[in-house]
Chains A and B, each alone.
Chain A
Amino acid sequence: MNGKVRKKLWGFLPHLVLILVSVACLLPLVLVISASFTTDAEIAKYGYSFIPKEFTIEAYEYILKKPAQLINSYGVTILVTLSGTVIGLLITAMLAYGMSRRDYPFARATTLFVYMTLLFSAGLVPWYMMVSNVLSLKDTLLALIVPYLVVPWFVMLMKGYFADIPSSIIEAGKIDGASELRIFFQIVVPMAKPGLATVGLFIMFMYWNDYYLSLMFIQNSKKLSLQFMLYRMMSNIDFLKSALAAQAGMLSGVQIPAKSIRMAMCVLAAGPMLLVFPFFQKYLVKGITIGSVKE
């Protein structure tokens, strides 16, 4: 009997630990969501808590009444993410494809060229000067797209997927007289769909979550991406207040529930994508395990 109880305990222990870790992973987010439904007065009096004493959607009403800033930022982020992902994935795939073709005499040299960049980093300053001074991309949306179009690590990951395509298929295409472009777009790309999906998702998340490029190159408030808007609001709650006051046509200094609005903005800006992500998880997990443990 004692042995049986012990065995049951052992069987439950993993769940117990994993549930605790899971709760620890999610609870902090609950805190933010809860704060967005709490009145500012309550936050000021009792602090942030997991369950609001008095449930209110005041903060959301404030934002959604005049959602110009939010919509504008969504526009910037969606535009940057979409174009960055499409163009970036295409260029990444084309480069990786050349590296994976065994009969291409420069495959090794190209791979080395890409791989070397994983070993060193030029650092922020010359990279910054390249974008802002040499290419003059400051305060343009291109500055949010171009620097991340090709990420060497993603190229290597993509190359792994292309390498799995048997060269006999490419040979067959050649014998049929298909051009290289045709072989790539009509034979190779369809076969590498899972790989393209994985790498594409990584690129997408990179663009969606990026605020670094904005921090570096964007000053114009019309070009604030979601993440950068959130950053500005965090670093400067007055920025939020003045933006809201200006939008609502109020004098600044009027009482605005800035604390809960800040949290509500966070939920509105980051929430939707976080709800989408579990559906793509399968691909991401695949990419992570392939990319980390080289075969």
Chain B
Amino acid sequence: MNMRHKFKQLVKYRSIFFLTLPGILLILTFQYVPLVMGLVLPFKDVNYKVGIWRSPSVGLENFKFLFSSDAAWRITRNTVCLNFLFIVTVLICSVICALFLYQVSKRSVKVYQTVLFFPYFISWVVASYVILALLDMENGLLNSILQFFGRDAILWYNEPKYWPVIMVIANLWKNIGYYTIIYYTGLLGISEEYYEASEVDGATKLQQIRYITLPLLKPVIITLLLLQLSKIFYGNFDMFYNLTMNSAALYPTTDVIDTYVYRSLKVMGDLGMSSAAGLYQSLVGFGIVITVNAIIRRVDNENALF
């Protein structure tokens, strides 16, 4: 197809093209153009008067600064480790819930599903109210309970060591319903015949799960797992920012790349540093997506992203 031919086709199908145009322009504006800007910004000492392109270049200064600080290691470790914990805990718990859900009647399924799904629709802002009621230094429920048993109250918002656990539980609470539904749907796709045949052979429930359900559910699990792994370099800003109330004392265990970039930009106004951290995230994140996709292709070609 040469350009002329393409142009002719564009004219012929102009109605469809115009239908897609607003969407294309929006994606161009909010995805592609920022991408190009993001490749340039970290290397510039941005001067708004002359614009980004004409601002003086600073070479790798911003990156040197970023990686010589403790922050780079801290935010990388927190992002990857916490995300990994989230993925594993949600996987285990939601598969178990889905297995139990499969054992009960269709009518009960609806009720449980609604309830488990509920927290998914609560914003992280509202979730931070829940966390406050639980962890408030003076009036939180957990401290009341501790004191009831004669223990000392804990200043939760000052103690970073508890937060990985708190985050894991909060994430589980919010997402368990979503993933349970996905795995439950996967279970529904397994043919009844397998179970009937195994019952004839005298298999117990546990044996059925071990030798029929889990192997047949494996493709769904692996696909979802890899999809989540591909996003492991991106922290959930809403969650980390709101639940911790942006408490500086908690940064050692809860500061992720996304919160760091935000703070550098909006609080400290350090455009160079924040865009450098942002580009670092984009590049590594992109590398991870490519790697994970290559793995998916090997394991299960049909579910590859591209």
Contacts and interface: CB of A to CB of B under 8 A. Distances in A.
Contact of A125 (B41, B141, B234): B41
Contact of B38 (A10, A105, A119, A126): A126
Interface in B164-206: 173, 176-178, 181-182, 185-186, 205
Contact of B101 (A14, A26, A31): A14
B13 to A, nearest CB: 6
Interface in A126-148: 126-130, 133, 135, 146-147
Interface residues of B, number: 99
Contacts of A262: 129
B186 A120 contact: no
B27 A117 contact: yes
A254 interface: no
A211 B125 contact: yes
B261 interface: yes
A149 interface: yes
Given A25-B119, A125-B274, A231 B125 contact: yes
A176 B17 CA distance: 21
A274 B118 contact: yes
Interface in B98-123: 100-101, 103-104, 108, 112-119, 121-123
Contacts of B275: 123, 125-126
A127 B20 contact: no
Interface in B261-306: 261-262, 265-266, 271, 274-275, 278-279, 281-282, 285-286, 289-290, 302-303, 305-306
A2 interface: no
A48 B126 contact: no
Contact of A21 (B32, B34, B97, B279): B97
20 contacts: A28-B134, A47-B141, A92-B23, A105-B13, A106-B17, A115-B306, A119-B306, A121-B282, A124-B258, A124-B278, A130-B29, A135-B29, A227-B123, A228-B125, A230-B129, A234-B242, A235-B246, A259-B139, A266-B126, A266-B129
Interface of B: 6, 9-10, 13, 15-17, 19-20, 22-24, 26-27, 29-38, 41, 48, 52, 96-97, 100-101, 103-104, 108, 112-119, 121-123, 125-126, 128-130, 132-134, 136, 138-141, 143-144, 173, 176-178, 181-182, 185-186, 205, 220, 223-224, 227, 234, 237-238, 242, 245-246, 258, 261-262, 265-266, 271, 274-275, 278-279, 281-282, 285-286, 289-290, 302-303, 305-306
Interface of A: 10-11, 13-15, 17-18, 21-22, 24-26, 28-29, 31-32, 35, 43-44, 46-49, 91-92, 94-95, 97-99, 101, 104-106, 110, 113-115, 117-130, 133, 135, 146-147, 149-150, 152, 155, 179-181, 184, 205, 209-212, 216, 227-228, 230-231, 234-235, 259, 262-263, 266, 269-270, 273-274, 277-278, 281, 284-285, 288-289, 292-294
